[in-house]
């Protein structure tokens, strides 16, 4: 029986463990744990990589989003338009500031926010749009920015799943006013704990983000604005600096695996074609830029049974996301009901993420696709 987990961080650690230990040791020797040279080095590297002038290390992707919304001055009663098909933090950050998340449905094939759904939702209270680059593929930033510019709205990119993805030659995180990244351990660039980064090309916003992540004081103990402790750890930065050197190779490996999946699914007859006869709809890849395949999300018939069958046969698979955010209990007061955002609701019933980490090999991918084939033949 295969043993193919959804992610395999141990395999990655085996390859780079010694280098990581050396980098951690440098921090231990220096005994400087808060901000400092590793954080600054990482900020410069991630900003440059993401085609931005400024990078501000944050304690998590969640805190990067919260700080970004604070930096653009989101207030109680404001409205921020975003997608319901994302991790909770995207909308949670909006709600934590007393603002109202307003959900626009997604496009069926990419599961990214549908620009056409945005404009009708804009009111006098709307201040910003947060597109999410779902699974590692950029949202349609040109269309989103056209709306934002016309309606004088900020754009905060939730690039937490998409470091290194680009759109029309420009990296995610550089399209909007601020980009937010996560270094959660399972991300394409993941730390050994929580971490994040905000990027921007706007010096004024960079200054505000820097202040906000450190209690708003400048100089120390003289507080200009109310911020928090949203700082990235030096230890995490030291780990991420090592991993960053491998990121491009890892992204290439993920893309190779995605292509192999594509071929295997088509060869097996499982992939849905134009007549929708297959059992599995493969993730759509747009020509507008590079997908970084943080997740490989298929849409599957009998999704829940398939997930169980894969687990029983030693293959990891996970549902991103089982409940779209407009139907979450904590957002009941927003008044959404089942049927309001049908594309997201359908995706929540059908989507399943399969393993796509760099250390997989073709044999493992074949076993995954064959096991999926076995499941459909047996039902």
61 binds ligand PLP (CB under 6 A): yes
137 binds ligand PLP (CB under 6 A): no
289 binds ligand PLP (CB under 6 A): no
Distance (Å, whole) CA 209 – CA 57: 9
Q: Which is nearer to ligand PLP, 47 or 232 (CB)?
A: 232
Beta strand 79-82 with 154-158 is unpaired
233 binds ligand PLP (CB under 6 A): no
Distance (Å, whole) CA 28 – CA 33: 8
Distance (Å, whole) CA 44 – CA 227: 23
If binding means CB under 6 A, how many residues of this protein chain bind ligand PLP?
Answer: 15
Binding segment (CB under 6 A) for ligand PLP, from list 58-66, 69-77, 101-109, 163-171: 58-66
110 binds ligand PLP (CB under 6 A): no
87 binds ligand PLP (CB under 6 A): yes
Question: Is-contact 230 215, C-beta < 8 A?
Answer: no
Binding segment (CB under 6 A) for ligand PLP, from list 8-16, 36-44, 158-166, 231-239: 158-166
Q: In terms of Cα–Cα distance, which of 107, 87, 110 is closest to 282?
A: 110
Q: Which is nearer to ligand PLP, 62 or 110 (CB)?
A: 62
90 binds ligand PLP (CB under 6 A): yes
23, 50, 86, 214: which one binds ligand PLP (CB under 6 A) = 86
The kind and range of the H/E element at 297 are strand 296-300
Smallest distance from the beta carbon of 190 to ligand PLP, in angstroms?
9
What phi and psi, each to the nearest 5 degrees, are found at residue 127?
Answer: -115, -25
Question: Which residue is at the shortest CB distance from ligand PLP?
Answer: 61
Binding segment (CB under 6 A) for ligand PLP, from list 96-104, 154-162, 239-247, 269-277: 154-162
CB atoms within 10 A of CB 306: 21
The kind and range of the H/E element at 368 are helix 362-378
Bond from prior residue into 222 cis (ω within 30 degrees of 0): no
Question: Is-contact 330 222, C-beta < 8 A?
Answer: no
Note the residues at the interface with ligand PLP (CB under 6 A). 60-62, 86-87, 89-90, 132, 158, 160-161, 182, 184, 194, 196
């Amino acid at each position: 029986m295969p043993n193919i987990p959804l992610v395999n961080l141990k395999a990655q650690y085996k390859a780079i463990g010694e280098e990581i230990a050396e980098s951690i040791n440098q921090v231990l020797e220096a005994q400087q744990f808060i901000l400092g040279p590793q954080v600054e080095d990482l900020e410069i590297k991630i900003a440059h990589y993401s085609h931005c002038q400024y990078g501000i290390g944050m304690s998590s992707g969640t805190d990067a989003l919260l700080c970004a919304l604070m930096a653009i001055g989101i207030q109680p009663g404001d409205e921020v338009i975003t997608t319901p098909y994302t991790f909770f933090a995207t909308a949670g950050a909006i709600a934590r500031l007393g603002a109202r998340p307003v959900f626009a449905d997604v496009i069926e094939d990419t599961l990214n926010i549908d620009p056409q759904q945005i404009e009708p939702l804009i009111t006098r209270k709307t201040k910003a749009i947060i597109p999410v680059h779902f699974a590692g593929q950029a949202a349609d930033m040109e269309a989103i920015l056209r709306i934002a510019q016309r309606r004088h709205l900020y754009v905060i990119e939730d690039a937490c799943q998409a470091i290194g993805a680009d759109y029309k030659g420009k990296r995610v995180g550089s399209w909007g006013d601020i980009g937010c990244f996560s270094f959660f351990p399972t991300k394409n660039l993941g730390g050994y704990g929580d971490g994040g980064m905000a990027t921007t090309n706007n010096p004024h916003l960079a200054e505000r983000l820097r202040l906000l992540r450190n209690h708003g004081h400048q100089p120390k103990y003289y507080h200009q604005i109310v911020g928090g402790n949203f700082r990235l750890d030096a230890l995490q930065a030291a780990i991420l600096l090592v991993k960053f050197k491998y990121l491009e190779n890892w992204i290439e490996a993920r893309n190779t695996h995605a292509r192999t999946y594509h071929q295997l699914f088509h060869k097996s007859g499982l992939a849905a074609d134009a007549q929708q006869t297959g059992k599995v709809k493969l993730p759509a890849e747009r020509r507008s830029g590079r997908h970084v395949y943080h997740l490989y999300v298929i849409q599957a018939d009998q999704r829940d049974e398939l997930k169980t069958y894969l687990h029983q046969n030693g293959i990891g698979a996970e549902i991103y996301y089982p409940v779209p955010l407009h139907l979450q209990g904590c957002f009941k007061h927003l008044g959404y009901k089942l049927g309001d955002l049908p594309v997201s609701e359908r995706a929540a019933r059908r989507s399943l993420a399969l393993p796509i980490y760099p250390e997989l090999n073709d044999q493992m991918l074949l076993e995954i696709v064959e096991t999926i084939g076995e499941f459909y033949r047996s039902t």
